[in-house]
Amino acid sequence: MLIGIKRKLKLNNSEVTYFRKCSEYARFVWNYIYDMMLGVKDDNTSCSKKLDAIKKIFTNHVKNSSQYSWIESDGYPSMIYQMEFKFYSAAMSDFFKGLKNPPSRKCISNGRSFTTYSGNGTTLPGIEKYETLDKFGNILNAYKKIKVPGLGTLRLQEHIVDLYPGFELISQTFTISESADGWYVSFNVEVDSSKLLDYKKKKFESDNNIFNAIDVLGCDLGVKTFCVGKDRDGNKGL
């Protein structure tokens, strides 16, 4: 079972400053693509070919020019600008399909975020060999660090496996975003559904001691009434 999760990062001041610069860099790349797309007047060229040409110009000329020397000096991961080209291509595809409005320029009001990726995928070993349970069945020795491509190892304020025991991190993309209370990382994990159910059941038993005879507990949200009856006059009850 594939689950997308979001965890709060534990960052120092230098990391916060660097992440803000990375988000500004991602927005700069997006706006550069937008301006270049508007400047191309050849209607006979497909959108994908235009983006490929703009990417070559950005990679071979813009990044190496003295005007934008800060790109190399600040050490931004190359995955950031490559993901922005992918996002712009996806936005144009959605526009041509009639699903969304055409792409527009980004500003600070859109929020701070950027995405990195790993071409080979990222896999961490399962938590079984590392886990330590307390008397209530809670995992004590859980992952509180995560490796992000291009950014290294980051600290987490929350455990990854509090709710997802026996997980495997298979995400290829990692999105770093800023909220009012801090920075977060979003990624995917592969979870064994049977282990997840057993863990939930065990934790529920330790908290309530009433989960002995029930294998599955759920609620049908489509039920409109629980009891229907009639009196002598034929009127419906509950």
Question: Can you give the chain as a three-state secondary structure string?
Answer: CEEEEEEEECCCHHHHHHHHHHHHHHHHHHHHHHHHHHHCCCCCCCHHHHHHHHHHHHHHHHCCCHHHCHHHHCCCCHHHHHHHHHHHHHHHHHHHCCCCCCCCCCCHHHCCEEEEECCCCCCCCCCCCCCCECCCCCECCCCCEEEECCCEEEEECCCCCCCCCCEEECCCEEEEEEECCEEEEEEEEEECHHHHHHHHHHHHHHHHCCCCCCCCCCCCCCCCCCCCCECCCCCECC
Q: For the chain, how many structural domains are there in total?
A: 1
Residue 121 has pLDDT above 50, yes or no: yes
The pLDDT of residue 211: 45
Residue 178 has pLDDT above 60, yes or no: yes
Q: What is the pTM of this model?
A: 0.72
**Is residue 70 included in any domain, yes or no?**
yes
**Is residue 168 included in any domain, yes or no?**
no
**Is residue 183 included in any domain, yes or no?**
no
**Is residue 53 included in any domain, yes or no?**
yes
Question: Which residue reads 């349970």 in tokens?
Answer: 133
Exposed/middle/buried for 165, CB within 10 Å: 0-12, 13-18, 19+?
A: buried
The pLDDT of residue 3: 76
Using an 8 Å Cβ cutoff, are 193 and 179 in contact? no
139 vs 215, which has greater pLDDT? 215
The pLDDT of residue 123: 46
**Is residue 95 included in any domain, yes or no?**
yes
**Is residue 198 included in any domain, yes or no?**
no
CA atoms within 13 A on the CB side of 46: 5
The pLDDT of residue 86: 95
Summarize pLDDT for 44-66 with one digit per residue, the tens. 788 889 999 999 999 999 998 99
pLDDT range class, residue 209, cuts 50, 70, 90: low
**Is residue 47 included in any domain, yes or no?**
yes
The parent domain of residue 96 ranges over 15-112
Using an 8 Å Cβ cutoff, are 166 and 127 in contact? yes
**Is residue 106 included in any domain, yes or no?**
yes
The pLDDT of residue 157: 85
What mean pLDDT, rounded, does the chain reach? 78
Summarize pLDDT for 14-48 with one digit per residue, the tens. 999 999 999 999 999 999 999 999 887 777 788 88
